[in-house]
Structure 1
Amino acid sequence: MAKITYIEHNGTEHVVEVPTGLTVMEGARDNNIPGIEADCGGACACSTCHVYVAEDWVEKLPAREDMEEDMLDFAYEPDAKRSRLTCQLRVSDALDGLVVQMPEKQI
């Protein structure tokens, strides 16, 4: 299980424990965290689970695959370095302490 901090655009923080094997998106969904819509249900077919990963976590995460890169083109104000789709981030002990911030809106 990993403790993940989700920060809404307005600064409201939600610190939750997410079971290993789920995705960061599923952790937000299961804990009713606003700001991650996940319209496609985690199929990497939209960009509505877009977040900005905390700067100190960027290099600790696995690289983006091509499909995620393509979907991020449709995200609201993507950041070339920090933007990720939470449906593509599988929770493990290595993600304990991860901090993500939601954009102003999802599109």
Structure 2
Amino acid sequence: MAEAQPGDNLLEVGQACGMPLEGTCEGQMACSTCHVIIAPEWFARLPEASEEEEDMLDLAADVARTSRLSCQIDLTDDLDGMEVRMPSASHDMQGR
């Protein structure tokens, strides 16, 4: 479980709690190393992914129907309790 405030970015929250989210491009949507899978019951609460995000997800391993880039998710009160999991192929080359 991770603690966050409204406005926090999911990538940064995940990194702060030790999740293996590399985030190589630092949220510039130039990679897919922050790929996460959102629990289906939470997925519909998120804003739709942009075309650019969808393109990056096409390059990610183990993509699921509810995959998103964590760098593109800014947390809100409506997302309190959201369940997120890492794809099985996740590996943080930066050693977090």
Alpha-carbon shift at residue 32 of structure 1 (Å)? 2.2
Aligned residue in 1 for 2:7? 21
Q: Unpaired runs of 5+ in structure 2?
A: 92-96
Aligned residue in 1 for 2:81? 97
Aligned residue in 2 for 1:44? 29
What is the identity, as a one-letter code, of the residue corresponding to 2:34? C
Alpha-carbon shift at residue 43 of structure 1 (Å)? 1.1
What is the identity, as a one-letter code, of the residue corresponding to 1:30? A
Aligned residue in 2 for 1:53? 38
What are the residue-to-residue correspondences of 1:74-89 with 2, within 5 Å? Answer: 74-79=59-64, 81-89=65-73
1:29-60 residue CA offsets vs partner (Å, 9 max, x unmatched): 12222x21111111111100101110111111
| CA RMSD, Structure 1 to Structure 2 (Å) | 1.3
Q: TM-score, normalized by length of structure 2?
A: 0.87
User: Is this contact kept in 1: 2:11–2:70, CA < 8 A?
Assistant: yes
Runs of 4 or more consecutive aligned structure 1 residues displaced over 6 Å after TM superposition: none
**How many residue pairs are counted as aligned between the two chains?**
91
User: Is this contact kept in 1: 2:10–2:73, CA < 8 A?
Assistant: yes
Aligned residue in 2 for 1:6? none
1:79-105 residue CA offsets vs partner (Å, 9 max, x unmatched): 2x2110000000111110110110122
Q: Unpaired runs of 5+ in structure 1?
A: 1-14
User: Is this contact kept in 2: 1:47–1:106, CA < 8 A?
Assistant: no
Identity rate of aligned residues, in percent?
A: 40
The counterpart of 1:65, out of the listed 50, 61, 66, is 50
What is the identity, as a one-letter code, of the residue corresponding to 1:21? G
